[in-house]
Amino acid sequence: MKNYYSYNINTNCVLIVENDGNIVEIALADKKINGTKKETDIIKKAASQLKEYFAGKRKTFDFPINPQGSEFQKQVWSALQNIPYGELRTYKQIAEEIGNAKAARAVGMANNKNPLPVIVPCHRVIGSNGKLTGYAYGLKMKEYLINIEKNACLL
């Protein structure tokens, strides 16, 4: 059964969706979800850890996730989880990591469909020219997340 609950974390609306004990979606904006509005224990745990992340006090997450997507998308999302906190990679580097050096654009599309932003850190992926490019929640949010990590690394 799909449950969801939304929170206001650092002035950001964060919607967390759980299904069968796994977090399956996080939205950094309010959106309509088919399911039951219910604050389950796993949703509470995810919210608590996200609050710590947004405060610059958490670098990793330890709740169960189960993002839904194609095999290629899952391969990309898995590679994203290997990017260390506070570091950046290019779309080309992720494409090379998954063994398909010419798939940089497809990596970008998989990032765009990432159902678990922050947890699966697609915000850590930039253009080969070093510039911020595309983010489902806008470049301001991408820069905000990168800066949380950059500032926490300075502490």
| Positions marked active-site | 122
Is 81:121 a contact under the CB 8 Å cutoff? yes
Q: Are 90 and 80 a contacting pair, CB within 8 Å?
A: no
DSSP 124: G
Is residue 23 within 8 Å of residue 63, measured between CB atoms? yes
Alpha-carbon separation of residue 126 from 40, 121, 129, 136, 153 (angstroms): 35, 11, 8, 13, 19
Radius of gyration of the chain (CA): 15
Element (H, E) at 41: helix 41-54
